[in-house]
Structure 1
Amino acid sequence: MSRKLTTSAGAPMPTNEHSLSAGPRGPLLMQDYQLIEKLAHQNRERIPERAVHAKGWGAFGTFTVTHDITKYTKAAIFSEVGKKTEVLSRWSTVAGELGAADTERDVRGFSLKFYTEEGNWDLVGNNTPIFFVRDPYKFPDFIRTQKRHPVTNLRSPEAMFDFWAAQPESVHQVTILMSDRGIPQNPARMNGYGSHTFSFWNDAGERYWIKFHFKTQQGHAHFTNEEAETLIGKTRESYQEDLFNMIEEGQHPKWTMFIQVMNEEDAANQPFNPFDLTKVWPHGDFPLIEVGELEFNRNPDNYFIYVENAAYSPSNIVPGISFSPDKMLQARVFSYADAHRYRLGTHYEQLPANVAKAAEVHFYHKDGGMRFFPQQTGHPDAYYEPNQYEEAARPDPAATEPPMKIDGDAARYDQADPDADFVQPRALYAEVLNDEQRARLHSNMASAMGPCSDSVKERWYAVLAKVHPDYEAGVRRAVEDDANAIPVTDETPTRA
């Protein structure tokens, strides 16, 4: 037996084929409230897209603990080997809009929402262990260079490389972006990283600095520029197609979770600032410690509800997991939640994708847009706190975090060495990449900066030269080769 079609208020609909009119030739009637309702709703179907990470793909899965790390953290999610926790992940490009192609050269977001019994824990990261800048004051400027020029409404390589040349710390991330790993074949074929320095604290009140790593079990696979261009000509949705079909066919993508651990007292004795988002922690000094396995095995039954409305924020932590003096992390604790309040509404965390599934939720936020759920305080008269009602929600002192040790010596983490920003990208370029990978890096970067003005090119060459003379020479040569390959005539359009 089929269900009856109704209005959104529940009244039966006699027809869904045509508008109501005064006669065979019209006009339409103002009383046709369902026509007005359909048109008005269509006008409101879209919500603001994310300012960054607009294009994304998501899936549900499970995190399983495989190794004991309880000496580092009291977080219930890690309390015993074999424990399973539901997870919602969203992978994304950074710069492109909702309609952008999936296989553009870009950093990829790698975000995880763990529905733990102590509340939701969000780990909001990327597929790279570092980022372009270390100070959040420069983040809005950086993102503007990745978006569209206010006059041409086109992406601007001139803006990108002009900014990067003025922020030499960015060369580490730019090198990774322009390397083979700049275009993963799909979300399953790339790593994920928390990127920031976070902290764990245990039952004894001891704090440890932490880096999170998620290593793909599918193996790395990437497209060249030419392969990506060919694929984009056939489909702009290849990531969504691959991920959705992979899960539907039972080929569930998996990652192994690792952490790096640094003692509090060791942080001041490193040759780099361990809270600098443009730096990695050497694995030889801070080896990877295996923790568990991520498996994504279920496609959302409604993309908009569970992926577009998914709201990840570093501010969502649980007892045993916390922050660090990482400046970028400190800013993201505010900015992400604020972006969700703007984009989704005041009570965005009560939407199905974001509501805590394994924990009771009690809070005193009141009214506001989207207040579609009952009071969460535990007592009808308790709309404020403190109050006299025993049933009402109270703070839990057991969740008190140990104090973060601040010694006041700001100079301890100052970067006095002018070469410090180039040490790690130099090792990546000279010691990690082989000759063929370096050649592709030169070519990819030349393609990206080809439209730039000569002044911006020279400023960027100067940054590359500080990393390694072969880096500068290789990119310069590749840019010149590209220019010579395309003869310029009076009819050939150029752009600065």
Structure 2
Amino acid sequence: MTEPQKLTTADGIPIADNQNSLTAGPRGPVLMQDFHLMEKLAHFNRERIPERVVHAKGAAAFGTFTVTNDITRYSKAKLFSEIGKKTEVLLRFSTVGGEKGSADAERDPRGFAIKFYTEEGNWDITGNNTPIFFIRDPLKFPDFIHTQKRNPQTNCKDHNARWDFWSLSPESLHQVTILFSDRGIPKTYRHMDGFGSHTFSLINDQGDTLSESLRERVWCKFHFKTLQGHQTLTEQESAKLKGEDPDHATHDLFEAIAQGDYPKWRMCIQVMSEEQAAKHPDNPFDLTKVWKHSDYPLIEVGILELNRNPENYFAQVEQAAFSPSAVVPGVSFSPDKMLQARIMSYPDAQRYRLGGNYQQLPVNQPKCPVMHYQRDGFMALGNNGGSTPNYEPNSAESTPKQNPAYAEPPMHLGDVAADRYDHRQGNDDYTQAGNLYRLMTPEQQERLAQNIVGSLSQARQDIQMRQLCHFFRADVSYGRRVAEGLGISIDPSMLPAIAQPVSI
């Protein structure tokens, strides 16, 4: 028997495991050092141009989301802050596997992607019309989608490929069962449910202080229940529509809204505490599984209504960019491996498809002020930040600054927690620099000081003074030499305190 060829990366590095991502523990999250995963996803995002790699065929409309029930006990997101509050939305429907010219009546999951234009930024939910998916590990995503596309030799759809993959991937059985059931072909986009599919987290804020104890995280799943009722197509009806009107669902959505028959969905959530998740019989972050409604009942949040058609398909639908990385304060992520990878993969796909400044396109532009340090690149609109600094931290006044009030509580992952740890806390950044200075001869020390003076003298005096503090903390002589070169007089009584090797 012929031995199989050795699987490698594009750099020729042998691959030991092409089934499982590198994760922090069995329930994730995925680690950035998994170069094989990153290469597969990044390359996958660049395999089609210019249409979307998946969800290429779609239709969309604008509308509003109206809060009908108070869930502030779970989330501090301002769009949920009061009953009756309205938020503008864009909802894009799609088939998953087909190209832009494919038929709407295919037996295929339907994309259900929502952009909420909130006062705290854009929040995207990039879900489907099913609560689950075919795979649970993102390392298999490019492979799976390849089976749904065209055979590399015949350029035709390949039933061998899809069933070969499914038969070798038992985790797909739940979604396959849905896909080939009566629910597999929705009659229209209006007559189907939508789901966030992944497990997300909601974060509340029970006080005005920054105390972590006042912030609580719960796990959450999002559901959008159609108020038009469920309608589906049989295989025979689907075949007839594909020949007679391949754009039937696109027509239906546009015409219904144009006639004032606005489609609506009831948005609900399921909520699971961290304690419940730890005791759950299976992994609550597994995208191939649901949470039982009997254990975690639906909680109504509001009504989503579509009431305005796009004016220009390319500008408002084709250029619309959705990513699960777009979350607002009060909504966040989970250890769901597929979600973790999509947080990277989706915006990467949009940068490839639309450019590095895709958020500046009108359909993607937030309704709230945007303040950051990103500059340049293709299609940098406006004044490109003007004369303000393009780096941070900086000393300029009235520039964007971080705000600890928006910090999330740590995400506990067994013996470790995902958090933003202060890399300066507990670190001595001065002793080794001082030791290096003390290894130099007096002549070398003098040349070092003069080289620094030649550059630092061109900076503002407030910057000079701040930097001198660092030199003195490393070594008093080091600081004195530079200060003398700058013509700055230092009070000798301050030197012992300044010289202490402590972080600032």
Q: TM-score, normalised by structure 1?
A: 0.72
Aligned to 2:364: 354
User: What is aligned with 2:401?
Assistant: 394
Distance apart, 1:47 and its partner CA: 6.2
359, 379, 404: which one pairs with 2:411?
A: 404
**Matched letter for residue 235 of structure 1:** D
1:162 aligns with 2:182: no
Cα displacement (A) at 1:409:
8.9
Residues 1:371 and 2:380 aligned together: yes
Aligned to 1:299: 309
In 1: Cα distance, 2:145 partner to 2:302 partner: 34
Which moves more between the two structures, 161-170 or 388-397? 388-397
Structure with max Cα Rg: 2
Partner residue in 2 for 1:49: 51
Whether the 8 Å contact between 1:88 and 1:113 is mirrored in structure 2 is: yes
* CA deviation after TM superposition for structure 1 residue 391, in Å: 1.2
Contact 1:63 1:84 in 2 (8 A): yes
> What residue number does 1:273 align with?
283
CA distance in 2, matches of 1:256, 1:371: 38
Query: 1:86 aligns to what?
Result: 88
One-letter code aligned to 2:380:
R
Q: What per-residue deviation string (whole Å, max 9, x for no partner) do you get for residues 304-337 of structure 1?
A: 1111001000000011100000000000000000
**Alpha-carbon contact 1:200-1:321 (below 8 Å) kept:** yes
Provide the C-alpha distance between the structure 2 equivalents of 1:381 and 1:372, rounded to a whole number of angstroms.
15
Matching residue of 1:187 = 189
Aligned: 1:61 with 2:39: no
Contact 2:376 2:384 in 1 (8 A): no
Q: What is the aligned partner in structure 1 of residue 346 from structure 2?
A: 336
Q: Give the C-alpha shift of residue 233 in structure 1.
A: 1.6
Deviations 1:73-112 (A, max 9, x none): 1010101110000000100000000000111110000000
Alignment of 1:343-492 (within 5 A): 343-357=353-367, 359-376=368-385, 380-408=387-415
SS where residue 346 of structure 2 aligns?
Answer: helix
SS in 1 for 2:91: strand
Residue in 1 aligned with 2:259? 249
SS of residue paired to 2:363: coil
Residue 155 of structure 2 aligns with which residue?
153
Task: Give distance in 2, aligned partners of 1:372 and 1:380.
Answer: 15
Tell me which residue corresponds to 1:233: 243
Alignment partner of 1:114 out of 116, 136, 157? 116
Structure 1: how far apart are the matches of 2:115 and 2:193?
A: 17
Q: Does 1:205 align with 2:212?
A: no
Amino acid at match of 2:67: V
1:230-281 deviation per Cα after TM superposition (whole angstroms, max 9, x unaligned): 1122111101110000000000000000000000111011111100000000
Is the partner of 2:412 in helix, strand or coil? coil
Distance, in Å, in 2 between the alignment partners of 1:297 and 1:173 is 31
Aligned with 2:240: secondary structure?
Answer: helix
CA-to-aligned-CA distance 1:99-148 (integer Å, 9 cap, x gap):
00111110000000000000000011000000000000111100000000
Q: Conserved in 2, the CA contact under 8 Å of 1:180 and 1:223?
A: yes
Contact between 2:59 and 2:93, CA under 8 Å: does it hold in 1? yes
* 2:123 partner SS: strand
Runs of 4+ in 1 over 3 A off after TM superposition: none
Q: CA deviation at 1:381?
A: 3.0
AA of the residue aligned to 1:266:
Q
- Secondary structure of the residue aligned to 1:328 is helix
What's 1:126 paired with? 128
SS in 1 for 2:362: coil
TM-superposed CA distance for 1:380, in Å, is 2.1
Q: CA RMSD in A?
A: 1.3
**Aligned pair 1:320/2:327, yes or no?**
no
Distance in 2 (alpha carbons) for counterparts of 1:75 and 1:394: 21
Structure 1 residue runs without a partner (length 5+): 1-45, 411-496
Who is 2:297 aligned against? 287
Matched residue SS, 2:186: coil
Indicate the residue corresponding to 1:455 in structure 2.
none
Q: 1:318 to 1:209 in 2, by over 3 A?
A: same
Deviation for aligned residue 1:227:
0.5
- Compute the displacement of 1:372 (Å): 2.3
1:40 corresponds to? none
* 1:227 partner amino acid: E
Secondary structure of the residue aligned to 1:231 is: helix
- Asked whether the 8 Å contact 1:47–1:344 carries over to 2, the reply is no
- Tell whether 2:224 aligns with 1:222: no
Q: Which amino acid aligns with 1:332?
A: R
Q: Residues of 2 paired with 1:207 and 1:374: CA distance? A: 39
Q: 1:274 and 1:311 mapped to 2: Cα distance?
A: 28
Find 2:318's aligned residue among 288, 295, 308. 308
CA distance in 1, matches of 2:295, 2:117: 32
Count of aligned positions? 362
Aligned equivalents of 2:153, 2:351: Cα separation in 1: 30
Would you say the 8 A contact 2:57–2:95 is kept in 1?
yes
- SS of the equivalent of 1:188 reads coil
| Structure 2 residue runs without a partner (length 5+) | 1-47, 206-213, 418-504
* Distance in 2 of aligned mates of 1:383 and 1:157: 52
1:261 maps to 271
